[in-house]
Structure 1
Amino acid sequence: MHDDITDVPGIRVGHDTNLEAGTGCSVILCDTPAVGGVDVRGGAPATRETDLLHPLCMIDEVNAVLLTGGSAFGLDAASGVVHYLDEHGIGYDSGIARVPIVPGAAIFDLSCGSATIRPDYAAGYHACEQASSGPIELGNVGGGTGATVGKLLGPEFAMKGGLGSASMELLGGIVVGAIVLVNALGDIVDPETQQVVAGTRNIAGKSSGASNPFGNTTIAVIATNATLTKAQVTKVAQMAHDGIAHVIRPAHTMFDGDTVFALATGSNAPEIQQNTATAALQVSTLGAAAANTLARAIVKAVRSASDLHGVPAASSLL
């Protein structure tokens, strides 16, 4: 076990990282189509294909998920992911062509590095080429490259966010994994010590002046090898948001676009029982595990980050 989302069988992760521009993207590839769900809690999301994941909609398979920097501009990277999957014959069989199903979400990282260089088609394609099932690099990598946290008083008081991942193994061989880009308005709190790990800095002799809270969002993917329906995996995504609220304070503000995707690969794991009470208990257990795993991944993200473009990381202030 790597203690990251690639511990879930059939999940691969790849990155495109631009340290000079302070941005990048990360792609979560599903070796076989996964059942997908999503839950959006923040007031300022930048997303792609989230309506498709609603349980009332027809398509119930996902081929990849894009987590990207660049705000709405960065969603262009999804086109590169779609092209890569198309070249490999991967996608929903419409009877005429295989259409790759690639939901995605973006963080606002334009204040760290360059505001004019954002992940694009080539970045998304390159991230797919780099995808592997091995251990995931954390911190200033992929979509978390330009992420920052603690911006309630404005970006000059922020600290470095980043990319984090974690996993948990449950009884019966079920694995739950999380990958997250931590770019929150709020502070990151260690749930064990209740101490702020990274957040708004108190800079001596400086006044906050007018607050500019724009430029946030924490986005994540939860994956499990359990077999779930579209409604059940959506419930797991919903419960996973508790992990965000547990360690990011405040969370889900009007200036955040907090979005959690969930994927169920159904590989090497028993199907959720059809008995209503038993199924509800199993889904609830998965949701609770997803929340705990996501919370741990968020803390790992900021602890793994390093200074970038004048924004200090938690590791440099120890």
Structure 2
Amino acid sequence: MSEITNIAEIPGIYAASATSEDAGTGCTVIICPKGAVGGVDVRGGAPATRETDLLRPEETVGVLHAVVLSGGSAYGLAAACGVAEELERSEIGLDVGVGLVPIVSSACLFDLACGDGHVRPTSDFGVAAVRSALDNPKEPLDRGNVGAGAGCTVGKFAGPDRCMKSGLGQGVQSAGSLVCGAVSAVNAVGNIKDPSTGTYIAGVLDDKKGTVLSPDQFFQDMAKGAGEAKMPLRTNTTISCIATNAKLTKAQATKVAQMAADAYAHTIYPTHTTNDGDTIFVMATGEVEAPVDVVGVMATSALEKAILDAAWSAEGAYGHPSARDIA
């Protein structure tokens, strides 16, 4: 197998986004037409999700056809309806005797304060993303201010005026024939940190908006009663999907999702707060035998890369600078 650098290059995986650049919102879909084994880990305090209970190991449905990462807060769940409808028209889904039912899981992030909050990803967004993915199977998934990353921002614990633009990122980790690819839309309340250097590359800005500040002093002041909480409640989330060619059971896919959550702790500070709806999906196509712990470690590495890529690939927009702007 040649070196894979984009999640859409993993055999059996298709991916694309639909974006409203003016409104600063969109959705990203990752599709496995033959059906993948799915898992999920939800750690944030305010998730907006669809079909996560179905992915529990004890539930009877053992196939997952698509994951939708969407903006629009809870309104964005409508994009998943469009994805399901278009997959059915493409004859992709679980055979239930009287027809096909595509199994589509989704998670949404809050981007209503970035761009035009009156525009949300509708079912038409989902249809467009599916058509783009299936009609252009060799087209790499775009990164930056696209899809679910169109309206992402980070570093909001000091208020929206000092946050930075983030976006949609990707990361791939491979060893031999085993591949783990990650897609992440990073809309965290916390800062983004490069774990290899400990440097904050995006997050809350100083008063002159030229330097990323450490969160430590801010939260110490809050603990002493000297700081004021300015973060908007329940408006932050990092949502991700990991696609792998590993052969996993539902329980193992769930464990991989749980292990991959370490990537959030390595790259986002603070993370899993009451103001975040952090969610990670796993899709396993079942081509390669591999120990689940190995898959989990590789998935974590791929997701770390995706989160950092979300910060570096974003462009400044809607009045918010990006990591590129202040590097």
TM-score, normalised on structure 2?
0.90
Distance in 2, Cα, partners of 1:103 & 1:238: 17
Query: What is the match of residue 301 of structure 1?
Result: 310
Is 1:153–1:213's contact at 8 Å kept on the other side of the alignment? no
Query: What is the match of residue 130 of structure 2?
Result: 128
Is 1:7–1:175's contact at 8 Å kept on the other side of the alignment? no
Matched, 1:213 2:232: yes
AA of the residue aligned to 1:289 = M
Query: What is the match of residue 279 of structure 1?
Result: none
Is 1:303–1:315's contact at 8 Å kept on the other side of the alignment? yes
Q: Which of 192, 198, 204 is equivalent to 1:188?
A: 192
Is 2:29–2:126's contact at 8 Å kept on the other side of the alignment? yes
Distance in 1, Cα, partners of 2:280 & 2:91: 27
Where do 5+ consecutive residues of structure 1 fail to align? 273-281
Is 2:16–2:142's contact at 8 Å kept on the other side of the alignment? no
Distance in 2, Cα, partners of 1:204 & 1:165: 30
Distance in 2, Cα, partners of 1:210 & 1:221: 31
Distance 1:133 1:38, change over 3 A: farther
Q: Which of 115, 119, 122 is equivalent to 2:121?
A: 119
Is 1:35–1:230's contact at 8 Å kept on the other side of the alignment? yes
Query: What is the match of residue 164 of structure 1?
Result: 169
| Per-residue deviation, 1:209 | 6.3
Distance in 1, Cα, partners of 2:196 & 2:90: 44
Query: What is the match of residue 277 of structure 1?
Result: none
Matched, 1:175 2:179: yes
AA of the residue aligned to 1:52 = L
CA offsets 1:170-194 (integer angstroms, 9 cap, x no match): 23x1111100000001000011111
CA offsets 1:185-244 (integer angstroms, 9 cap, x no match): 100001111100100011149xx9661333110000011111111101110011000011
AA of the residue aligned to 1:108 = F
Query: What is the match of residue 62 of structure 1?
Result: 64
Query: What is the match of residue 221 of structure 2?
Result: none
- Pairing of 1:36-185 with structure 2 (within 5 A): 36-131=38-133, 132-171=137-176, 173-185=177-189
| Per-residue deviation, 1:135 | 2.1
TM-score, normalised on structure 1?
0.93
AA of the residue aligned to 2:326 = L
Is 2:17–2:142's contact at 8 Å kept on the other side of the alignment? no
Where do 5+ consecutive residues of structure 2 fail to align? 210-226
How many residue pairs align between the two structures? 305
Distance in 2, Cα, partners of 1:121 & 1:204: 41
Is 1:4–1:165's contact at 8 Å kept on the other side of the alignment? yes
Q: Which of 297, 301, 307 is equivalent to 1:288?
A: 297
Matched, 1:257 2:277: yes
AA of the residue aligned to 2:145 = N
Distance in 2, Cα, partners of 1:9 & 1:153: 43
Distance 1:210 1:243, change over 3 A: closer
Q: Partner of 1:28: helix, strand, or coil? A: strand
Distance in 2, Cα, partners of 1:243 & 1:94: 37
Is 1:224–1:263's contact at 8 Å kept on the other side of the alignment? yes
